[in-house]
Structure 1
Amino acid sequence: MEKNLLMIFTRNPELGKCKTRLAATIGNQAALEVYELLLDHTVTITKNLSVTKEVHYSTRIGQNDIWDPTVYNKKQQEGKDLGVRMYNAFRNGFESGYTNIIIIGSDMYDLSEQDIENAFEALKNNEYVIGPAEDGGYYLFGMKSLNSKVFQNKSWGTNTVLQNTLKDIQQTNVKLLEERNDVDYYEDIKDISVFQHLLSLAK
């Protein structure tokens, strides 16, 4: 019996500590509000999925926040860098008996509920599923068994992550999803209507 797990990696929404590259252009307060909109969107596209859902906080587990504890199991990220944190999350998931595990971030306004359902469907016939981001990273990564190599020797946050990850798994069945854009810079949101009121406040 397949057991599906979706892990959502998120930063605790704190002024001056999230979306710092975006904040350099629009200011800390507007960047925080952009991130809160992205978190709301992530809840909207994940809460109704018929899979087990975990939210992994960057610094501490949130209480009385947008992540309903009856829907999401709340976890703390463990490790000194993103690779170690993702490895530990996947390891714990597989040790808990899950057979298909997917991880996403919480800064994708481009992502939909259907995209995530398609990713789990792809894992039925592939060992890996990857959603390539326009910046050379990935917005979604899934696998059927633990491979520590994909989390090692990566310069996280750079345009080499996807390329180097694909090298690690080049002899396997990999499903690549549509390329999408995550939100890191002003240019990523300047033409999206839902963010316009925040951008006007920032000017």
Structure 2
Amino acid sequence: MTAPTLLLVVAKAPVPGQAKTRIARTIGDDGAAELAAAALLDTLTTATAVGWPVVVAMTGDLSAAARGEEIAAALEPLQVVSQRGDGLAARLANAHADAAAAVGDSAAGIVQVGMDTPQLLVADYLDAGRTVELGSIVVGPAQDGGWWLLGLPDPALAKHLVDVPMSQDDTCDRTVEALGGDVVRLRTLRDMDTWDDAVAIAGDIPISLMADAVERQRPRTGA
């Protein structure tokens, strides 16, 4: 493939009360939304540094979100499509199709991530992109049984996601099965579901918006 790989970020506006509800049990709705906003901003910073075309599949009301103006500014130079479909699996499948349509023939292959792994490095994206360019499917497994990255040499393959149960401890294995079983696996990472996850991830990226946000929340938790 000679065209660059497309980088797809699937994101949700970090609205208090709607973002990171498990984390909110520890630090409250506003604090959880702040962490989600920081994670998204850090993710976008790294994603844009890769040098590929970036499409963000967005859902939610940014005008009501934590750091909404900052996020809107970060999205301004990028292509943004709205998420559509019932359930996460359908939204992911549609996001791949819509991202491919948004850039036309200017990209070959898609590497998709969410906003819960701001600790990703440019090297993680490049490793996935090289694998996709060679024609292979690539998956980044998460510690909780899900996945943090999906790379597809053909966006049409995303249609197989619609029958995969999401947010389960076997989601990654079920995704691999749905895609035919022949995939390349990247390193296993922790994604941000709980306060402990957030603290651990912040420790991996001490110079980041995520680390700053976690530090601001520590007095409320006694951590």
The answer on whether the counterparts of 1:5 and 1:100 sit within 8 Å (CA) in structure 2 is: yes
Corresponding position of 1:199: 218
Gaps of 5+ in 2: 204-210
Corresponding position of 1:54: 55
Counterpart CA distance in 1 for 2:158 and 2:148 is: 18
Counterpart CA distance in 2 for 1:59 and 1:68 is: 14
Displacement of 1:20: 0.7
Counterpart CA distance in 1 for 2:192 and 2:128 is: 21
Corresponding position of 1:106: 115
Taking structure 1 as reference, are residues 182 and 171 closer, same or farther at Cα in structure 2, changes over 3 Å only?
closer
Counterpart CA distance in 2 for 1:187 and 1:134 is: 13
For 2:147, give the aligned amino acid: Y
Gaps of 5+ in 1: none
1:5 aligns with 2:12: no
Greater helix proportion: 2
Corresponding position of 1:161: 171
Match of 1:69 among 76, 84, 88: 76
Displacement of 1:184: 0.4
Displacement of 1:149: 4.9
Q: Which moved more, 1:125-134 or 1:94-103?
A: 94-103
SS at match of 2:220: helix
Corresponding position of 2:146: 137
SS at match of 1:189: helix
Taking structure 1 as reference, are residues 90 and 79 closer, same or farther at Cα in structure 2, changes over 3 Å only?
same
For 2:96, give the aligned amino acid: F
Taking structure 1 as reference, are residues 30 and 123 closer, same or farther at Cα in structure 2, changes over 3 Å only?
same
SS at match of 2:133: coil
Displacement of 1:171: 4.9
Counterpart CA distance in 1 for 2:18 and 2:76 is: 24
* Mapping of residues 118-133 of structure 1, within 5 Å: 118-133=127-142
Total equivalences in the alignment: 201
- Normalised to the residue count of structure 2, the TM-score between the two structures is 0.81
- Normalised to the residue count of structure 1, the TM-score between the two structures is 0.89
Deviant stretches of 4+, over 3 Å: 60-64, 190-193
Taking structure 1 as reference, are residues 148 and 123 closer, same or farther at Cα in structure 2, changes over 3 Å only?
closer
Identical positions, percent:
22
Q: Which moved more, 1:134-143 or 1:53-62?
A: 53-62
The answer on whether the counterparts of 2:164 and 2:178 sit within 8 Å (CA) in structure 1 is: no
Corresponding position of 1:23: 24
Match of 1:147 among 120, 136, 157: 157
Counterpart CA distance in 2 for 1:61 and 1:115 is: 28
